């Protein structure tokens, strides 16, 4: 029977991870998978997590199931991080929050909810490209059709706002737009506040539905600044979904801590949404992992730990910005490298695109042991003081450079 199983597409991120593991060269540089690495190229555990683990151990929490929709205190604290502690939509109880299996699980649950809601029957999902590779299969999996438009202008290294606004003009009323709130994956190209304002005007005029992917809040700027777009839409009265992950900003990748939030018109609708999501969770995976959510809740419930967390995030932001400046200085300053490297500085968060062809990316891996996705996306956190010069030198060699520097 299993002979009838159809072939499956390859996963570029999985294949890249395999190649990185197999490369034993001492000069190996991993600029691929989207995990924050410290200056030594290793997993970085936040100090507040160490403190939260000690507190949790003293509490002697058991390993019983959490309730289907997740611990209420955790969900309340998570919503405050996303929407703001004093947000009116929280005090008016118009936000429904349920725990999900990290950000990916939140998007899947949100997609499933939309696909099974009559008002969205036949509606299309609009995704700006280049995009996170899971968007299209996630929405196709629940029967939703995806339409793409251009999010990123490679020639400028910035958002292609014109293409975005054109997509809103041609989309039918009620169409779903997937919006990354900050630290765009894979480009790192984010909307400015003024562009968010313009986009909100355009989507409101066409009565379009926003689905926010908030996987990197606090990795680009402050928690509040990174949530500007989402809060703007919520405060302007949009019904929307917001998918929240604590993988990156807490370093809890393997614990799969995420939340799906739905903003409704009133408390009665919010109650119906909650019951529907409860059913979908129960029918599909019953409940979410408890350990990571407990750690997050300990930090968010304690004023000092919460402040320590934000301080640690600020250090991460600074290091990512410093890495960008250092790489750009090597390429544009020291080496006078050919090409436009402005995307390094115009991007935000973990990622940016380098102006490389797949062949050049392959040569970087084969000849210099520098690993990245074939589209030129790099994880800026993979850079450090010990490898930036090596990376810049290799980039110059594969892209062409003045002979005086080689």
Q: What CATH number does residue 369 fall under?
A: 3.90.1150.10
The alpha carbon torsion through 95, 98, 104, 108 (nearest 10 deg) reads: -80
Kindly state whether residue 110 falls inside one of the protein's structural domains.
Answer: yes
pLDDT, average across residues 167-181: 97
Asked whether residue 58 is domain-assigned, the answer is no
Q: How confident is the model at residue 41 (pLDDT cuts 50, 70, 90)?
A: confident
**Do both 118 and 225 map to the same domain?**
yes
- Which of the residues 213, 309, 341, 397 is marked catalytic? 213
Active site residue 248: yes
Query: Is the domain of 138 the same as that of 254?
Result: yes
pLDDT-wise least confident of 318-322, 339-343, 397-401: 397-401
**Is the domain of 215 the same as that of 97?**
yes
pLDDT of residue 362 exceeding 90, the answer is yes
Residue 395 falls inside a structural domain: yes
Question: What is the maximum alpha-carbon separation in the chain?
Answer: 71
> Tokens in use for 50?
């160490």
Give CA torsion, residues 313, 318, 324, 329, to 10 deg: -170
Segment 99-106 shows an average pLDDT of: 97
Residue 60, in any domain of the structure: no
DSSP letters, 268-314, are HHHHHHHHHHHHHHHHHTSS--SHHHHHHHHHHHSHHHHHHHHHHHH
Do 296 and 319 fall within a single domain? Answer: no
Q: Which of the four pLDDT bands, split at 50, 70 and 90, describes residue 11?
A: confident
Of the candidates 30, 123, 160, 248, the residue annotated as catalytic is 248
Same domain, 183 and 222: yes
Residue 363 and residue 287 in one domain: no
Number of Cβ within 10 Å of residue 14's Cβ equals 10
Domain count, the chain: 2
Looking at residue 337, its pLDDT comes to: 86
Residues 209 and 288 in one domain: yes
pLDDT digit string, tens, across residues 22-40? 989 999 999 998 899 999 8
Same domain, 141 and 20: no
Return the CATH number at 254: 3.40.640.10
30 carries an active-site annotation: no
Q: Are residues 286 and 327 in the same domain?
A: no
The residue annotated as part of the active site, out of 132, 196, 309, 341, is 132
Residue 132 a catalytic site member: yes
Assess whether 31 and 73 both reside in one domain.
no
294 and 329 in a single domain? The answer is no
Q: What is the pLDDT of residue 61?
A: 81
Domain carrying residue 21? 11-45+311-399
Residue 402 has pLDDT above 60, yes or no: no
Does 291 lie in the same domain as 323? no
């Amino acid at each position: 029977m299993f002979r009838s199983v159809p072939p499956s597409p390859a996963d570029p991120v999985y294949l890249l991870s395999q190649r990185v593991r197999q490369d034993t060269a001492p000069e190996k540089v991993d600029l691929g998978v989207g995990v924050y690495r410290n200056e030594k190229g290793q997993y970085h555990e936040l100090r507040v997590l160490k403190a939260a683990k000690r507190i949790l151990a003293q509490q002697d929490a058991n390993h019983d199931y959490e309730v289907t929709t997740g611990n209420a205190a955790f969900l309340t604290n998570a919503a405050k991080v996303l929407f703001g502690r004093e947000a009116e939509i929280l005090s008016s109880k118009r936000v429904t929050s349920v725990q999900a299996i990290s950000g990916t699980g939140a998007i899947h649950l949100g997609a499933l909810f939309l696909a099974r809601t009559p008002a969205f029957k036949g509606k299309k999902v609009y995704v700006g490209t280049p995009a996170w590779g899971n968007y299209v299969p996630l929405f196709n999996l629940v029967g939703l059709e995806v339409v793409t438009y251009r999010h990123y202008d490679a020639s400028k290294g910035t958002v292609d706002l014109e293409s975005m606004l054109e997509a809103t003009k041609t989309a039918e009323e009620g169409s779903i737009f997937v919006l990354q709130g900050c630290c765009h994956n894979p480009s790192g190209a984010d909307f400015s506040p003024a562009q968010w304002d313009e986009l909100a005007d355009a989507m409101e005029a066409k009565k379009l539905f926003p689905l926010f992917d908030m996987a990197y809040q606090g990795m680009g700027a402050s928690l509040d600044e990174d949530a500007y777009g989402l809060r703007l839409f919520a405060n302007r009265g949009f019904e929307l979904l917001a998918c929240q992950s604590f993988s990156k900003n807490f370093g809890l990748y393997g614990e799969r801590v995420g939340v799906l939030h739905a903003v409704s018109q009133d408390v009665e609708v919010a109650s119906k949404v909650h019951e529907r999501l409860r059913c979908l969770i129960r029918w599909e995976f019953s409940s979410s992992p408890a350990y990571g959510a407990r750690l997050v809740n300990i930090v968010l419930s304690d004023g000092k730990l919460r402040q320590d967390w934000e301080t640690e995030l600020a250090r991460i932001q600074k290091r990512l910005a410093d890495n960008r400046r250092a790489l750009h200085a090597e390429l544009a300053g020291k080496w006078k490298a050919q090409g436009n490297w402005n995307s390094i500085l115009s991007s935000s968060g973990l990622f940016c695109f380098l102006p490389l062809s797949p062949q050049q990316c392959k040569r970087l891996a084969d000849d210099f042991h520098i690993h990245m996705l074939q589209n030129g996306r790099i994880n800026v956190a993979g850079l450090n003081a010990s490898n930036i010069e090596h990376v810049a030198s290799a980039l110059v060699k594969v892209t062409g450079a003045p002979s005086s520097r080689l």
